[in-house]
Structure 1
């Protein structure tokens, strides 16, 4: 599957997750939400997890394609330091002696890309430009997957910084659907993050 397909699959997954969110926030003729708060929160958390998984999947697929010597959408072949014999072998090289690759950790992604590719690779460029956002997204992912005192505290910290106001006992929905103070067009925090992920995915695919 060429890189354009990986990019399109990522975008389709994002669109699908956004569709779930839209369904969760449907309103009746009087303007009241059809679903109660707990169900809206559950769907929103699940949709966010789907979005995050779509990003991790895109990273893994595109990384392996470049390891196998596949050109970018624009036809660029990035310099690689490994030559796996097939996709399965590429997976084994990435995992090494570990049990899996933590694609949610941008530090690990950067270390891997600079181990397997020349420094002028699209992963290093775009992951470096998104480091803070990617760590924020991982924090939100952790809270969506399992909200504990620790993950809530971490989410409160991200919310306080991003929303520019003190946040206590913040939940995922409250954070991602809040208006981004840095947005000139009134976008939500989620929209801001998704726009950055899309720019990153396109940049990695185009090299």
Structure 2
């Protein structure tokens, strides 16, 4: 089943990238890190970038699979308003006369889901619940991918809002590995919270 495989692939990728992050944070017996700060931050931010790409890839594959009439993990199919002949044709319909479809933008995905599926099928509900988090993740992704005054300002804004403290000249690494104050039941980093949200949403999308 395509949707089940999409979920398996997504979770496997996240697991592998988490292993890279764990490697970057290994310590000697005396508590000091085995690799330098710069390398630790580079590995971790690179892993986060690939995690975000894995999420985009998962959503794109699921959207196309549902559009070509694949069943969900729970053997469900959406009512849809297009019948592409294959995956390539489905992608052409989605892109239309644009240069590409922005699978990193939950608002854009929710919008086209309502065009192709009855009431947006599972995409509208799954993404609406984490819309703000996905937009914050995109801002963090952008700051890690290309540093500029614009991305720095946006990242500081996200950090200030999440951490509830004035945040100036933050880095993606510093925010992602900061304990998330929104989690009161356990100690969890901002990244760990995001990955939990993505996993729940991915399962919801794959289940249909």
Both proteins in one fold, TM over 0.5:
yes
SS at match of 2:118: coil
- Structure 1 position 2 matched with structure 2 position 2: yes
- Partner of residue 57, structure 1: 57
How far, CA to CA, are the matches of 2:27 and 2:187 in structure 1? 21
- Partner of residue 26, structure 1: 26
- Partner of residue 110, structure 1: 110
SS at match of 2:103: coil
How far, CA to CA, are the matches of 2:34 and 2:171 in structure 1? 20
Q: Which runs of 4+ in 1 moved over 3 A?
A: none
Change in 2 beyond 3 A, CA 1:120/1:109: closer
How far, CA to CA, are the matches of 1:30 and 1:120 in structure 2? 53
- Partner of residue 172, structure 1: 172
Q: Is the 8 A contact 2:68 2:86 kept in 1?
A: yes
SS at match of 2:43: helix
Q: Deviations over 1:41-66 (max 9, x none)?
A: 11111000010000000000000000
Aligned residues: 207
- Partner of residue 187, structure 1: 188
Change in 2 beyond 3 A, CA 1:120/1:105: closer
Change in 2 beyond 3 A, CA 1:53/1:154: same
Alpha-carbon shift at residue 139 of structure 1 (Å): 0.3
- Partner of residue 140, structure 1: 140
- Structure 1 position 204 matched with structure 2 position 205: yes
- Partner of residue 14, structure 1: 14
SS at match of 2:9: helix
Alpha-carbon shift at residue 120 of structure 1 (Å): 5.5
- Partner of residue 126, structure 1: 126
Q: Give ranges in structure 1 of 5+ residues lacking alignment.
A: none
Q: Give ranges in structure 2 of 5+ residues lacking alignment.
A: none
How far, CA to CA, are the matches of 2:16 and 2:124 in structure 1? 28
